Chain A
């Protein structure tokens, strides 16, 4: 098992494997997103009180879920990078950050667009919105820190430490709507009592699950591609890279 793990961690093997995997991930992601968006925008009925405004859920919830999942990915990769000094984990930390920042920004923007017609305000400083904004700043911090060092490996390790310090914010974002009074409503899908009694009706739920899966697969494809680029950049003098681009 460990030999397999070590072989996967070697940059050339990773590069080839990612090359094989990425097109499939991307194709599946686009297919799921297409069906999910069609289901969400055309097939799903309007909500009983929010009308058509609720349909932004099909972008907002996947973006928000990813903003937390990507940070968790970054923190786990950071831990591996710091403890085992694994190059691929270092690369994962620094390449995941811009994707995470993008999805966090998307979650904040779609949330504001949703808040105005339903709540009556684009923004309030409640616990959920504020902690999600802190999450964006954490991502931007990792991106900035990575640029601050000239040595790529030192930079990645500094980013890994920051990712680990900030990981405390992930449960805070998720549980903010339970721990504190907030304007933002509670979780629709990820809640204990929601399993026994669904909080969203079936025709509205399945497109959401499809766009969720589509967003996650897209993240997988985007992360692999970004990691491949970074691997090439860092190993540009290695023989396997030279051979790869030999004419």
Chain B
């Protein structure tokens, strides 16, 4: 084996080795890499009890109720399940029914998720309002596909 061949093997070995190590590491820690849980995870009880966590999903159509002041209640849904959420405070401009959101908070004793922060999660589609109007599905909802169950995906 020439010196150059040795160097080729060293470089290829390094890249492949780091790749395998990363793949193994990320498979093992997949759950911890998820930014949020989904309503399905919460209902199935696959979340740390009483802990502060992120809940992601779509604001269900027709579920948004505004109480006095800045208090709101609504449901967050993935493709399968929905969880009621209570929140008091300012919401992002993009917050509306049908929009993706990520809520930080904890599950209350009354099975209502008490949020302390609401972030909007928009999708990767961009279009002028006119086009959006003509494309609108019956419920005007965004895709629930980005909200994947942590338990089902990470085992």
Contacts and interface: CB of A to CB of B under 8 A. Distances in A.
Contact of A126 (B26, B35, B128): B35
A200 B125 contact: yes
A8 interface: no
A240 to B, nearest CB: 28
Interface in A188-247: 188, 191, 194, 199-201, 203-204
A82 B11 CA distance: 8
Interface in B108-155: 118-133, 146-148, 150
A165 B99 CA distance: 40
A165 to B, nearest CB: 6
B126 A164 contact: no
Given A83-B7, A204-B127, A119 B35 contact: no
Interface residues of B, number: 45
A75 B18 CA distance: 14
Nearest to B33: A180
A181 B34 contact: yes
A191 B30 CA distance: 22
Contacts of A57: 126
Nearest to A128: B35
A114 B33 CA distance: 23
A168 B18 contact: yes
Interface in A31-60: 45-50, 54, 57
A185 B123 contact: yes
A204 B132 CA distance: 14
Interface string B38-80: 1000000000000000001000000000000000000000000
Contacts of A47: 126-128
Contacts, number: 124
A117 interface: yes
Most chain A beta carbons < 10 A, residue from B19, B35, B120, B130: B35
Q: How large is the interface on A (under 10, 10 to 19, 20 to 34, 35 or more residues)?
A: 35 or more
Nearest to B31: A180
Contacts of A186: 123-124, 146
Nearest to A205: B126
B1 interface: no
A200 B127 contact: yes
A118 B11 contact: no
B146 A185 contact: yes
A200 B147 CA distance: 21
Contact of B120 (A82, A119, A203): A119
B72 to A, nearest CB: 14
Contact of B128 (A172, A181, A203): A203
Given A118-B94, A186-B123, 19 more contacts: A45-B130, A48-B132, A49-B99, A49-B122, A57-B126, A118-B120, A120-B95, A127-B33, A164-B14, A167-B15, A167-B18, A168-B15, A168-B18, A181-B34, A181-B36, A181-B147, A188-B125, A191-B124, A203-B128
23 contacts: A45-B130, A47-B126, A48-B132, A48-B133, A49-B94, A57-B126, A118-B122, A119-B92, A119-B119, A120-B92, A120-B119, A124-B102, A126-B35, A127-B33, A165-B18, A168-B19, A180-B33, A181-B56, A185-B122, A187-B124, A188-B124, A188-B126, A199-B126
Interface of B: 4, 7-8, 10-11, 14-15, 18-19, 22, 26, 30, 33-36, 38, 56, 91-95, 99, 102, 118-133, 146-148, 150
